[in-house]
Structure 1
Amino acid sequence: MIPVLGYEGRRVAVLGMGRSGLATALSLRAGGAIPVVWDDSTEGRAKAEELGYEVCDFTKAGGFDGIAALIVSPGIPHLYPDPNKVIAAAWAAGVPVDNDIGLFFRSLGSGDWVDFDTPPRVIAVTGSNGKSTTSALIHHILSENGTPCQLAGNIGRGVLDIEPPVDGEVIVLELSSYQTDLARALTPDVAVFTNLSPDHLDRHGGMGGYFAAKRRLFIEGGPDRCVIGVDEKEGRYLANQLVEGPEDSRLIRISVAEKLAGSGWNVFARKGFLSEYRKGKQVASLDLRDIAGLPGAHNHQNACAAFAATRALGLSPKTIEAAFHSFGGLPHRSQLVGEKDGVKFVNDSKATNVDSAQKALEAFSRIRWIAGGMGKDGGIAALAPALGSVVKAYLIGFSARDFALQLGDVPYEICETMEAAVALAAREAEAGEVVLLAPAAASFDQYPNFEKRGEHFAALVEALL
């Protein structure tokens, strides 16, 4: 673990006793602090007491007396739609509020680093879509290259749960807007912005607040190098704010929408080929078309981001290309579950919003589409331009009938359950088609999370195969 520094002998409040909160309390204790905890659920409080932590209701009079800081788990609202009552009480008491990401960056360095030939570095990845695949791909490239590395944050282990880094190690962090929004310290060596599309708007008070949460990693973090997706106006705005001039090599722009020109450092993918340009000249080209773990334009964007981030660390294009070919992809993200009689079954359960579902639909040509769940504002109306590849839709969950009204001329079946949808789609699919789970909706009507939804789809497919 990473012991939290700076609070030795002081009482530090921890709100939320899930994975993040428990790791935070343990790291605080390891660093000499005295964690005092609270969870809004009786189960969470009971778990904390079993582990020997002091439990305190900080909303009561004097609850924050003698407390040095409040550390908040990422799932707990701290501003919109309304701040948690414990956070509001901390504000009133003048107690600083932070999260585990802030503690991580504050505590990562240690005296041992003076003896390292190469100090450990951090690559932090944020954005609306693709950040998990991009983070995992960066980690895979480094691992294949023999670079010691760890993957943490919004994927895999909690940031304080990782091992103290060794000489030359690279820590790859996936950071959500919930994590970047509140952290009081953000100091990555390389920061990556994949893209931006509407998501979590209630939590951030609208699109402006959502973008502002992402932007903090770059403006307040002061990374040595930034990799910025410029296919949306927010990315172009952010890129412009980070440079001192057209040839500023601290910025690497990436795109899958256009060939990037200019005298800066650019990486883009068009028609399945990734190109790197520096000072107006091409310095590398990679063929992405036959890389099984990175299908579709959205994964080509992830490839551009990972390529740029690892190039920023000095890896060669050939080394990166070789690692691309051995990357197996992530579960629930354009994951090929299997194939039978020329029909492929692909699990993209992580496509919980319209933008990510559109990218999944654009990756294949003839699709038997399984969609539905707890739909978000606007349903799937915005997906109309991407439905030309859909042979038939198989609709499940709470929003199945609402989705049906927005499909236009696309044939559909109301299946209600995953079992019925998989069985019917598999029976009707023909050679050359793809049975694709890309729900364009949250999972909470039928599943506790998108992982369980994807696992159910995969289990049903494997039974068929």
Structure 2
Amino acid sequence: MIPVQGVEGQTVAVLGLGRSGLSAARALQAGGATAVCWDDNPAARASAEAQGYAIRDLSRAGAFDDVASLIVSPGIPHLYPEPNPVIAAAWEAGVPVDNDIGLFFRSFAAAGFDRFDSPPRVIAVTGSNGKSTTAALIHHLLQEAGRDSELAGNIGRGVLDIDMPGDGGAVVLELSSYQTDLARALTPDFAVFTNLSPDHLDRHGGMGGYFAAKRRLFAEGGPDRAIVGVDEIEGQYLANQLSEGPGDDRVIRVSAARKLSGPGWQVFARKGFLAEWRKGRQVASIDLRGIKGLPGAHNHQNACAAYAVLRCMGVAPKVIEQGLHSYGGLPHRSQLIAEVNGVQFVNDSKATNVDSALKALLAFDRIRWICGGLEKEGGLAALAPGLPHVAKAYVIGREAASFAMQLPGVEAEICTTMARAVKAAIADAQPGEVVLLAPAAASFDQYDNFEKRGEDFIACVRAELGQ
């Protein structure tokens, strides 16, 4: 646990009692504060009270009279589409609003760094797609290189629940826009921006607000080094804003779409090969084509970003290459779950938006594509470059018919349920093809979350294959 610093003797309110809220309450009390907690869900309140936390209705008049600050869980809107009433009440009372990420950054460096010869580094990863894989891959590579590493934030453990890494170790944080948007302190040693595509636009008031939330990770504290994906204009803008000139190697540009040039520090992937260039010269190269845990150009971008971080940590290219080959991938993200009679079965349930689904389609040559669900804003037109890779689509979800109508030139079968889609895809699949779940839609019309959808796909595949 990382006890929160600077709160001794204070009363601090916590809104939202999921994983991050309860973690914050524990760390606040470990730092000498009194945590008063609230959640609109009676079951969540009862569970917290049973664990010994004080419950206070933060919506009642005068609830903030003795409160020094309010800590908010990431799922609770604080600005768009409209502020949560409790947050609005804190504003009115002049009470600072923060989240567990802000508490972590203001407390981590004060937690006994004087005992380290080489203090642990904090690596923060954000972006629209690939941030979970990139963060997990960095964590894996560090461990394979013999470095102590903790994985937390939007993945792994609650950020305040982690143990302090050892000498020369690292904390790897995956941070969503919900987390970066509100944190009052953001001071990583190394910060990664993977890419940007439309997502969570209602929560951020549009694309500009969404990008602004991501940009805060780089603008608020100023990381020692920034690793920036430059395959979209937002990444190009961000890299330019952070750089003092063409040779400024504090900014490492990353691409999976083109060769990068110039006197600075670049890591890019072309035709399946990762290349590192510094000061106009190539210094390393890795063949990514045989790494099953990282299929496709989108995963090659993740590999480039992770590679750049490890190089910042002083790890040699050969050691990184060995770690890449032992990476097994994350559940629900280009996860190879079976290979039978020359047919691969890949679970990419995390492909909840069009951009991430397109990247999955481009990763394979001939696909039996299971898709559909709760369609997001913007339609499916952007999937067009990937549709020639689709042998046939098997559409699930309550609106399967309307989803299928937006796939021009693709043979589509309306299956509605996962079980029917998997059965039909297996019956049709030929050696060399991939049965791919990449929904290009949210899961909430049929499942509680994308994890449940992916688990159902895996269960259906195993049932059909008799595994």
With the length of structure 2 as denominator, give the TM-score of the two structures.
Answer: 0.98
Alignment of 1:223-242 (within 5 A): 223-242=223-242
Corresponding residue number in structure 1 for 2:378: 378
Question: 5 Å matches for 1:386-401?
Answer: 386-401=386-401
Stretches of structure 1 that go unaligned for 5 or more consecutive residues are none
Q: What is the CA deviation profile of residues 284-328 of structure 1, one whole-angstrom value per residue up to 9, with x for unaligned ones?
A: 111011111110000000000000111111111111011000000
Partner amino acid, structure 2, of 1:155: I
AA at the equivalent of 1:367: I
User: Equivalents in 1 of 2:378, 2:149: separation in Å?
Assistant: 41
Which residue in 1 is equivalent to 2:420?
A: 420
For 2:113, the aligned partner's letter is W
Give the equivalent residue in structure 1 for 2:10.
Answer: 10
> Deviation at 1:44?
1.5
| Alignment-mate amino acid for residue 262 of structure 1 | G
Match of 2:340 in 1: 340
- For 1:379 and 1:407, how far apart are their aligned partners in 2? 10
**Letter matched to residue 22 of structure 1:** L
Instruction: Figure out how many residues of one structure are paired with residues of the other and give that number.
Output: 465
Provide the residue aligned with 1:217 in structure 2.
Answer: 217
Contact 2:5/2:110 (8 A) holds in 1? no
Amino acid at match of 2:142: L
Question: Secondary structure at 1:443's aligned position in 2?
Answer: coil
In the superposition, the TM-score normalised over structure 1's length comes to: 0.99
* 2-structure distance, mates of 1:347, 1:52: 40
CA RMSD of aligned residues (A): 0.9
User: Once the 2 structures are TM-superposed, how far is the Cα of residue 367 of structure 1 from its aligned partner?
Assistant: 0.3
Q: Mark the CA change 1:331 to 1:111 in structure 2 (over 3 Å): closer, same or farther.
A: closer
Deviations 1:134-190 (A, max 9, x none): 001101110001000110110111101111232222000000000000000011000
Alpha-carbon distance between aligned partners in 1 of 2:386 and 2:363, rounded to the nearest angstrom: 10
User: Where do 1:160-309 residues align within 5 Å?
Assistant: 160-309=160-309
Q: 1:161 aligns to what SS in structure 2?
A: coil
1:350-361 paired onto structure 2 within 5 Å = 350-361=350-361
**How far has the Cα of 1:111 moved from its partner?**
5.6
Give CA-to-partner distance per residue, 1:256-300, whole Å, 9 cap, x none: 111101100001000001111101111011101111111000000
CA distance in 2, matches of 1:276, 1:164: 31
Match of 2:326?
Answer: 326
State the SS of the aligned residue for 1:407.
coil
Aligned-residue offset at 1:47 = 1.4
Do the aligned partners of 1:337 and 1:462 also contact (CA within 8 Å) in 2? no
Alpha-carbon deviation of 1:377?
A: 1.4
Deviation at residue 384 of structure 1 after TM alignment: 1.7
SS in 2 for 1:32: coil
Offset of 1:464 from its aligned partner? 2.6
What is the deviation of 1:341? 1.1
Q: Secondary structure at the match of 2:202?
A: helix
Q: Secondary structure at the match of 1:160?
A: coil
Q: Matched residue of 1:159: which SS? A: coil
1:150 and 2:159 are equivalent in the alignment: no
Deviation track 1:223-271 (CA, whole Å, cap 9, x = no partner) reads 0000000010100000011011111110100001111011000010000
Aligned to 1:115: 115
C-alpha separation between the residues in 1 aligned to 2:399 and 2:122?
A: 41
**What is the deviation of 1:124?**
0.4
SS in 1 for 2:425: helix
- Counterparts of 1:36 and 1:317 in 2: how far apart (Å)? 49
Q: Which amino acid aligns with 1:438?
A: A
Secondary structure in 1 matching 2:112: helix
State the identity %. Answer: 71
For residue 399 of structure 1, report the CA deviation from its aligned partner. 2.8
What is the rounded CA distance, in whole Å, between the counterparts of 2:51 and 2:115 in structure 1? Answer: 36
